A and B are shown apart, each in its own frame.
Chain A
């Protein structure tokens, strides 16, 4: 495919300007590409982790519900309620942000303070159900963090990729083609000058004779 060239005056100054411009374009392209690699890697690993975590949560939720259903045979709803209220004294969700190659993404942390509940009077299945739901809380929070990060990083990846593609496929080849065109033009002009000089020399020599 023939590359479109820029409309520039065929002067040496313009050629120097274009050479400077291509240097900046290549520099920008490298910076953007490095960032794109880091962001893409992060995005892929987050997507994988998110998919695995979602599956784990579904499986765990099924297990927890089965355990809770089994408990209903051994414990009254009041007992289940008092156990769930006493098991954890305080649960705090800390939400902050971290930065991944210029993109601010959320970070979550769950801090759980166990309650002073004696587990002995409660059935074992109820205790297991409690533990199961406790683990689930952490996973759900992590999944929320991952999904929000995927959205933010994905948006940035598409923005950076657009710029990289524009540089790679349009701007840099266009400048390169223009530089090539100007260089060829100057060479042609030089050749023309040389031939003209030769002709003039021959003419002068003939006149001299």
Chain B
């Protein structure tokens, strides 16, 4: 048997592991901003059995920024990594989330909205608990 035969399995294992690590923290069910603001401790349950808590000050900031549209915002906002691109890019297609992010960052509203590391850094400092990253197995397999 050739030397690198086991390497195939190891590489696939690591790739699967990365997908699992990133995606296990995805929410089981997303909640609207309105629902979360009513809760005493705003949180959602995740697929790995844990919870993802939101900071109340960030929820209030989102409500203030969106105004009436706040009731349609589903949280957490899912940002999908695009490993197909050369640079690090995350993307979102939710129209209300796009509106919020564009307003907070002062960038034009485009669908889908692509966010680069500088945007992500600013976004994390403003609404760090409202966003979650995901990695689509479909995108990874198309690489």
Which of A's residues lie within 8 Å of B, judged by CB?
6-9, 14, 17-18, 20-21, 23-28, 30-35, 37-38, 41-42, 45, 94, 96-102, 104, 107, 109, 163, 171, 175, 178
* Pick from B15, B22, B55, B83: contact of A24, CB under 8 Å: B15
Contact B22 A35 (CB under 8 A): yes
Which of B's residues lie within 8 Å of A, judged by CB?
2-4, 7-8, 11-12, 14-15, 18-19, 21-22, 24-25, 41, 43, 46, 50-56, 81, 83, 88, 117, 120-121, 124-125, 128-129, 132-133, 135, 140, 143
Contacts of A17 in B (CB 8 A): 2, 8
B61 to chain A, nearest CB (A): 14
The list of the 7 closest CB pairs from A to B, nearest first, reads A96-B53, A99-B25, A102-B21, A7-B3, A8-B2, A27-B143, A30-B83
* Pick from A6, A31, A98, A100: contact of B15, CB under 8 Å: A31
Q: Is the interface of A mostly helix, strand, loop or mixed?
A: helix
A18 to chain B, nearest CB (A): 7
| 7 A-B residue pairs with CB within 8 Å | A6-B4, A21-B4, A34-B83, A41-B124, A45-B125, A102-B133, A171-B7
B43 to chain A, nearest CB (A): 6
Contacts of B11 in A (CB 8 A): 21, 24-25, 28, 171
* Pick from A6, A37, A98: contact of B52, CB under 8 Å: A98
B67 to chain A, nearest CB (A): 24
Contact B14 A28 (CB under 8 A): yes
* Pick from B4, B21, B88, B133: contact of A8, CB under 8 Å: B4
Contact A99 B3 (CB under 8 A): no
A72 to chain B, nearest CB (A): 35
From known contacts A41-B120, A41-B121, A96-B41, infer whether A35 and B3 are also in contact, taking CB-CB under 8 Å. Answer: no
Contacts of B8 in A (CB 8 A): 17, 20-21, 24
Contact B120 A30 (CB under 8 A): no
Contacts of A27 in B (CB 8 A): 15, 83, 140, 143
From known contacts A9-B2, A28-B14, A31-B135, infer whether A94 and B25 are also in contact, taking CB-CB under 8 Å. Answer: no
Contacts of B129 in A (CB 8 A): 98, 107
Q: List the B residue with the shortest CB-CB distance to A178.
A: B4
Contact B51 A97 (CB under 8 A): yes
* Pick from A42, A104, A109, A171: contact of B56, CB under 8 Å: A109
From known contacts A24-B11, A31-B135, A107-B129, infer whether A101 and B4 are also in contact, taking CB-CB under 8 Å. Answer: no
* Pick from A24, A30, A34, A107: contact of B53, CB under 8 Å: A107
User: Interface centre among A14, A23, A94, A163, by most B CB within 10 Å?
Assistant: A94
